[in-house]
Amino acid sequence: MHRMQHFITPSGSSPFPQIARGEGYYLWDKQGNRYIDGSSGAVASNIGHANSHVTETIKAQADQIAFAYGRVWESEANIRLANRLGAMSDMGYDACFFVSGGSEAMEAAVKFARQHAVATGEDSRWKVISRAPSYHGSTLAMLGVTGDPEFSGPFAPMFKMMPKVRTPLPYRPLSGLTPEEDARKAFEELEVTVHQEGPSSVLAIVIEPVGGTATGGAYAPDFYHTRLRQLCDEHGILLIYDEVMSGAGRTGKFLAAHHWPDCRPDIVALAKGLSGGYAPLGAILVSSEMLQPIRDQGGFAHGHTYAANPQSCAVANAVLEEVERLDLVQNAHVQGERLKQAVKALMQERRSVGDIRGKGLLLGLEIVADQDTKASFPNEVNALAKLKAHCASNGLMMLSRRLSGGVYGEWMMLCPPLIIDENAVGEIVDRLDQSLAAFESQL
């Protein structure tokens, strides 16, 4: 039989293990090896695998109605999900738009912002200032917003690169500055960029409030968030939070925005944990006040076949019901602190761990060649790949990131499902410790 190539596997990499099944925070491959899901896949499986409330909901919804086109039908599932998100986000968002994933959610967020500007007589606004490093998705428009030139690659001539400012990285501040001073400087650079671009041409500023794979859980000090909101208000710029990874409870609050309550974003993008990996889904949250001018001009000029499909919305309702029933937002905070402290304790002996950072269970574990100088491993060491292989052979499946040739450092995303308990934290830390020991002795 002709064997089709499934080209998601990167060239040169050995074939991925084949997944057989999952249960809770465990995964099994076809050979029967068991792994802890140390990064929730791509930080998506927030409630773990094979959750029976969700699997029963999937069957029940499919038996009733799986698909009903969102421009023709409303469904109980999408009405319930919208109301639930309004209540759980609790920041005055009373309108939302459902899509099928994170890139689509971010695309919808900037298109919504632009349509709002046009509908309110501010056609001059179109620039979306974002930060580097950052990741906001892989569609052509989002490549222009993403702050990581590696993703542009051969596509660079095909989209508009948006203005970029520096993301403050507390572990790697500019030379001679404390993390606080560095964040202050980064904010001043943002102010300068707004003025240079011309404030009346700036549509929106986009940030990941707690960073995903591009920064490994980095976030700015409180004052940065407060001043960012003030800057946007001063110039009529919309503030967009990309909470594709940080939202839905991952950081120990339902939205990462809740960590900075005086800095309410105008638009929030969600995906991943929203449906916990059980169905493709993304969403944007806005206020009906912002939506009204767009409605008055005929409605949001955007859509996808699967937007607000009942199957995905029913799944997300069931996932969020589990988040509430099991108090997973609080658990993310408690277990995240426990995990962070345990890794900090490991760092005394495991000298290749440079930093553990993040909020809740959105944690990045940065590896270094030297803890004192924070020097990264040279390219040729291929350190992350080696460490990840040790983790996998010790039954810990990890996602990692080394962007821009390693100039920002390199890290693994320590982001297990939010259902982990104290025992699971112990198990993760033991496996990590064994993997780091094997990795260090191999160097």
Ligand X SMILES: Cc1ncc(COP(=O)(O)O)c(C=O)c1O
Cβ pair 284, 241 in contact under 8 A:
no
- Work out the end-to-end distance of the chain between its first and last CA atoms, rounded to an integer number of angstroms: 43
Kindly tell me which residue out of 103, 115, 130, 400 binds ligand X, with binding defined by CB under 6 A: 103
Residues in the interface with ligand X (CB under 6 A) total 15
Closest CA to 275 of 312, 328, 329, 309: 312
Strand-strand pairing, 26-29 and 19-23: antiparallel
Strand-strand pairing, 282-286 and 95-99: antiparallel
User: Under the criterion CB under 6 A, does residue 358 sit at the interface with ligand X?
Assistant: no
At a CB cut-off of 8 Å and minimum separation 6, what does 229 contact?
239, 262, 263, 264
Cβ pair 4, 396 in contact under 8 A:
no
Q: Which stretch binds ligand X (CB under 6 A): 26-34, 229-237, 239-247, 305-313?
A: 239-247
CA dist., res. 213 & res. 384, Å (int)? 14
Nearest residue to ligand X by CB is 102
Between residues 101 and 336, which has the closer beta carbon with respect to ligand X? 101
Angle, alpha carbons 267-83-23 (nearest 5°): 90
Between residues 42 and 346, which has the closer beta carbon with respect to ligand X? 42
User: Under the criterion CB under 6 A, does residue 133 sit at the interface with ligand X?
Assistant: no
Q: Which stretch binds ligand X (CB under 6 A): 2-10, 99-107, 154-162, 352-360?
A: 99-107
Q: Interhelix angle for 102-119 vs 288-296, to 10°?
A: 70
Please state the closest distance from residue 206 (CB atom) to ligand X, in A.
10
Kindly tell me which residue out of 101, 216, 336, 409 binds ligand X, with binding defined by CB under 6 A: 101
User: Under the criterion CB under 6 A, does residue 208 sit at the interface with ligand X?
Assistant: yes
Long-range contacts of 124-128 (CB under 8 A, 24+ apart): 124/200, 124/201, 125/200, 125/201, 125/202, 125/203, 125/236, 125/237, 126/201, 126/203, 127/162, 127/163, 127/197, 127/201, 127/202, 127/203, 128/162, 128/163, 128/203, 128/204, 128/205, 128/206, 128/240
Please state the closest distance from residue 325 (CB atom) to ligand X, in A.
25
Phi-psi region of 270 (alpha: psi -120 to 50; beta: other; left: phi over 0): beta
Closest CA to 210 of 258, 259, 246: 246
Between residues 217 and 310, which has the closer beta carbon with respect to ligand X? 217
CA dist., res. 140 & res. 194, Å (int)? 23
Between residues 41 and 409, which has the closer beta carbon with respect to ligand X? 41
User: Under the criterion CB under 6 A, does residue 212 sit at the interface with ligand X?
Assistant: yes
Q: Which stretch binds ligand X (CB under 6 A): 131-139, 167-175, 306-314, 435-443?
A: 131-139
Please state the closest distance from residue 321 (CB atom) to ligand X, in A.
22
User: Under the criterion CB under 6 A, does residue 137 sit at the interface with ligand X?
Assistant: yes
Residues in 370-429 at the binding interface with ligand X, rule: CB under 6 A: none
User: Under the criterion CB under 6 A, does residue 135 sit at the interface with ligand X?
Assistant: yes
User: Under the criterion CB under 6 A, does residue 361 sit at the interface with ligand X?
Assistant: no
- x/- mask, ligand X, residues 243-282, rule CB under 6 A, reads -xx-------------------------x-----------
Between residues 388 and 401, which has the closer beta carbon with respect to ligand X? 401
Please state the closest distance from residue 242 (CB atom) to ligand X, in A.
5
Q: Which stretch binds ligand X (CB under 6 A): 95-103, 197-205, 310-318, 344-352?
A: 95-103
Between residues 137 and 168, which has the closer beta carbon with respect to ligand X? 137
Between residues 143 and 387, which has the closer beta carbon with respect to ligand X? 143
Kindly tell me which residue out of 37, 107, 242, 322 binds ligand X, with binding defined by CB under 6 A: 242
Please state the closest distance from residue 134 (CB atom) to ligand X, in A.
7
At a CB cut-off of 8 Å and minimum separation 6, what does 403 contact?
133, 148, 150, 214
- x/- mask, ligand X, residues 309-348, rule CB under 6 A, reads ----------------------------------------
Closest CA to 417 of 339, 307, 314: 339
CA dist., res. 207 & res. 127, Å (int)? 14
CA dist., res. 70 & res. 295, Å (int)? 16
Please state the closest distance from residue 250 (CB atom) to ligand X, in A.
10
Between residues 136 and 390, which has the closer beta carbon with respect to ligand X? 136
Residues in 35-64 at the binding interface with ligand X, rule: CB under 6 A: 42
Residues that bind ligand X (CB under 6 A): 42, 101-103, 106, 135-137, 208, 212-213, 242, 244-245, 271
